[in-house]
């Protein structure tokens, strides 16, 4: 049983071999088997335990030639485990010295093996062994140096673990797989690992077949494969899984090695990890990755931040695989220290929530009040994508509305109206509250998804709560143009609020965020990529400390041109009972921002009345006073009630 188990384990380990090399090894072993190489006792390598050959001599002669290739190959692989001295030195990266003692000299079997196995020769050269096969005379395979053949195959067996990979990636879901293939396309060697180890084999046998991608079956193998400083990228579920992998990687890493978290982690977690790992000499990076599966494969938007010492090492890889703006610039740059990268990605997702809600409301208005069909709306969105509203989300909406189900009907009409969410929009809304940044449209977009999820409650209420009669038919062309302008103005507000939150973080956390560079990062590869991000970049180039995009002339003029129809669309929706919370919130934000005197004076008076919270007088700002409200006609005494 033990022998069968050892052979089975040895056979399973053959999957480490790349297909090209395995085929060459198969041919080479077949030749040598026919030449009488079945006897393992012929030659013992100097690093081999003396008893190994004797234990296998009897079973390896005669009948061994009748074994299948796999059994012979498994037996040789099992012999690898017997070479303890060589194995130990390989694990300690003393490969050149070990091989020089184990390999035959010039003009021997070594040259013949290398001549017949070019991929093996290439692997040896890449591993740093200083010789070229063409410098040795070809000899007949009958030289019968099994020990040297085993030594060479042992090198191949361990080659995935000998510091050949530029970067490693843990997490082989679709996003991870596509990012690996993207790196491979750009000439980088990637080693991969997955908690479910079988996924490594599946990936190498399918999507990564024929690539330079290396599979690792353990974190130890994964780390040994990486060039120094090692770059280990995590693309796993945010939260405990990230901390778990960090804890397992730490004992295997050296000072100045790099861990990159490419998942949707909360920026506060990234800030904590960055600080903790810096104390242990590990450089930690939290990088936003946007663009979905397609972006990961062909060019995502990347938003790295964390320990700035890591940037020179990851920059060549990240900027190579990132999407490129139309100007050719990579949609990737360093965002800042600590949790800056994941903060930027969080705000990106918040803007994404706002954009999607605005587009959904435009669709709702055209369907409910404009009476437009899906096909008509599809053409409208496609036309809008040719102008100032050009963006990825407008583009895909045009495709979605013309997509047919199997029966020829429109698929959009069969999709339940309950929207899910993964939480990043909620994080943005909460962060806006915590930082005192009024991202009202983004928060409204989050609440709209929550309301949509209350499907049964809405259906029940629709049968009880009264509504209003909708107005008569509208001029479709005119109405569509009004909706377009309202959408454009509201979209400006969505981005204004997002960049206000970024500016607040820039001030509060001292991250020195380059808001213009962030706008450029979002020009390509990501979900919110849009034409006017170029105008946002220009606004921050002109004024890096711009705290409100609405004050830039370009955006001021957009609102000026759209304001009248924007108000009309919101009013029409309200009069006809069509909910447009994002449009309405955007307009309310704009009006609040341009209002020189808001009714907050009454709010503060109320707070002082019931809670003695004090207030500032217009003629003496900065000095807080309390009024004796009950002594001048009031009937409720002040208290310490907090509100």
Instruction: Please count the other Cβ atoms lying within 10 Å of the Cβ belonging to residue 123.
Output: 20
Q: Which of 81, 79, 103 is nearest to 91 (CA)?
A: 81
User: What CA–CA distance (Å, rounded) separates 615 from 392?
Assistant: 47
Asked if 391 and 358 touch (Cβ cutoff 8 Å), the reply is no
Rounded to whole angstroms, the Cα distance separating 420 from 415 reads 13
- Of residues 24, 199, 329, 345, which has the active-site annotation? 345
Which CA distances in Å does 433 have to 63, 405, 429, 550, 568?
A: 77, 42, 6, 21, 30
Tokens linked to 222: 């994964």
Report how far residue 165's alpha carbon sits from residue 630's, in angstroms, rounded to the nearest whole number.
Answer: 76
- Cα separation, 314 vs 166, in Å, equals 10
> Which of 24, 82, 271, 352 is flagged as catalytic?
352
Residue 255 to residue 40: CA distance in whole angstroms: 44
Q: Which two tokens stand for residue 590?
A: 């704009």
What is the H or E stretch that residue 192 is in?
strand 190-193
Say which residue the tokens 């090399």 belong to.
Answer: 21
Helix/strand/coil percent split, the chain, to 5: 60, 10, 35
Cα torsion angle, 22, 27, 32, 33, sign: positive
Helix (H) or strand (E) holding 258: strand 258-261
What is the three-state SS of 108-148? CHHHHHHHHCHHHHHHHHHCCCCCCHHHCCCCCHHHCCHHH
* 345 is annotated as an active-site residue: yes
Angle 550-551-554 (CA atoms, 0-180°, nearest 5)? 75
C-alpha torsion 566→568→574→576, nearest 10: -130
Q: Is 217 a catalytic residue?
A: no
Dihedral of CA atoms 239, 175, 205, 149 in degrees, nearest 10, equals: -70
Tokens describing residue 488: 């454009």
Residue 546, SS3 per DSSP: coil
Q: Residue 624 belongs to what H/E stretch?
A: strand 620-625
- Measured CA to CA, the distance from residue 73 to residue 82 in angstroms comes to 15
Q: Are 194 and 172 in contact (CB under 8 A)?
A: yes
CA distances from 541 to 153, 471, 514, 520, 548 (A): 58, 47, 9, 11, 14
Contact (CB, 8 A) for 170 and 197:
no
Q: Map tokens 């879901």 to a residue.
A: 173
**What does DSSP assign to residue 138?**
-
Cβ proximity of 300 and 291 under 8 Å: yes
Q: Is the CB of residue 290 less than 8 Å from the CB of residue 332?
A: no
Write the CA distances from 350 to 255, 375, 516, 640, integer angstroms. Answer: 36, 29, 18, 37
Entry field: residues in the chain: 643
Whole-angstrom distance, CA of residue 141 vs CA of residue 206: 34
The residues annotated as belonging to the active site are 345, 352
């Amino acid at each position: 049983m033990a022998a069968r188990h050892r052979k089975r384990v040895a056979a399973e380990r053959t999957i480490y071999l790349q297909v090209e090399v395995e085929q060459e090894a198969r041919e080479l072993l077949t030749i040598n088997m026919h030449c009488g190489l079945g006897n393992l006792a012929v030659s013992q390598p100097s690093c081999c335990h003396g008893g190994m050959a004797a234990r296998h001599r009897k079973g390896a002669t005669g009948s061994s030639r009748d074994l299948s290739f796999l059994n012979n190959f498994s037996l040789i692989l099992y012999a690898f485990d017997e070479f303890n001295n060589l194995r130990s030195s390989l694990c300690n990266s003393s490969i050149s010295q070990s091989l020089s003692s184990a390999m035959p000299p010039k003009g021997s079997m070594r040259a013949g093996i290398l001549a017949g196995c070019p991929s093996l020769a290439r692997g040896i050269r890449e591993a740093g062994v200083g010789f070229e096969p063409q410098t040795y005379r070809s000899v007949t395979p009958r030289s019968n140096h099994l020990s040297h053949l085993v030594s060479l195959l042992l090198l191949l067996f361990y080659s995935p673990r000998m510091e050949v990979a530029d970067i490693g990636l843990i997490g082989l879901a679709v996003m991870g797989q596509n990012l690996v293939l993207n790196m491979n396309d750009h000439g980088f060697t990637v080693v991969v690992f997955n908690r479910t180890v079988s996924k490594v084999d599946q990936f190498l046998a399918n999507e990564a077949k024929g690539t330079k991608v290396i599979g690792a079956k353990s974190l130890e193998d994964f780390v040994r494969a990486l060039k120094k400083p090692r770059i280990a990228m995590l693309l796993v579920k945010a939260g405990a899984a990230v901390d778990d992998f960090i804890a397992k990687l730490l004992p295997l890493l050296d000072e100045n090695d790099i861990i990159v978290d490419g998942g949707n982690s909360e920026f506060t977690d990234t800030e904590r990890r960055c600080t903790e790992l810096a104390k242990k000499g590990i450089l930690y990076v939290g990088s936003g990755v946007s663009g979905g599966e397609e972006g990961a494969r062909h060019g995502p938007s990347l938003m790295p931040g964390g320990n700035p010492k890591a940037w020179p090492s990851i920059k060549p890889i990240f900027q190579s695989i990132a999407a490129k703006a139309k100007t050719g610039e990579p949609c990737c740059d360093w965002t800042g220290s600590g949790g800056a990268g994941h903060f930027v990605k969080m705000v990106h997702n918040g803007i994404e929530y706002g954009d999607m809600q605005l587009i959904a409301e435009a669709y709702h208005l055209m369907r409910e009040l404009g009476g437009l069909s899906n096909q008509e709306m599809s053409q409208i969105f496609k036309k809008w994508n040719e102008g100032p509203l050009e963006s990825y989300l407008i583009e895909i909406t045009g495709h979605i509305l013309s997509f047919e189900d199997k029966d020829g009907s429109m698929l959009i009409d069969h999709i339940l109206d309950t929207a899910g969410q993964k939480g990043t929009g909620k994080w943005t809304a909460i962060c806006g509250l915590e930082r005192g940044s009024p991202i009202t449209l983004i928060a409204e977009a989050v609440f709209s998804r929550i309301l949509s999820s209350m499907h049964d409650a809405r259906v029940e209420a629709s049968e009880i709560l009264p509504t209003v009669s909708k107005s008569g038919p509208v001029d479709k062309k005119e109405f569509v143009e009004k909706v377009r302008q309202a959408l454009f103005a509201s979209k400006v507000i969505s981005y204004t609020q997002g960049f206000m939150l970024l500016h607040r973080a820039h001030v509060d956390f001292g991250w020195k965020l380059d808001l213009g560079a962030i706008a450029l990062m979002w020009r390509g590869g990501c979900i919110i990529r849009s034409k006017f991000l170029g105008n946002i970049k220009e606004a921050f180039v002109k004024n890096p400390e711009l705290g409100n995009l609405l004050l830039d002339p370009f955006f001021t003029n957009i609102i000026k041109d759209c304001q009248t129809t924007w108000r009309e669309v919101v009013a029409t929706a309200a009069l006809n009972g069509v909910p447009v919370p994002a449009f309405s919130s955007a307009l309310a934000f704009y009006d609040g921002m341009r209002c020189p005197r808001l009714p907050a004076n009454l709010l503060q008076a109320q707070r002082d009345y019931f809670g003695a919270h004090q207030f500032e007088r217009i003629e003496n700002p900065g000095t807080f006073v309390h009024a004796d409200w009950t002594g001048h006609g009031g009937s409720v005494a002040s208290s310490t009630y907090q509100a």
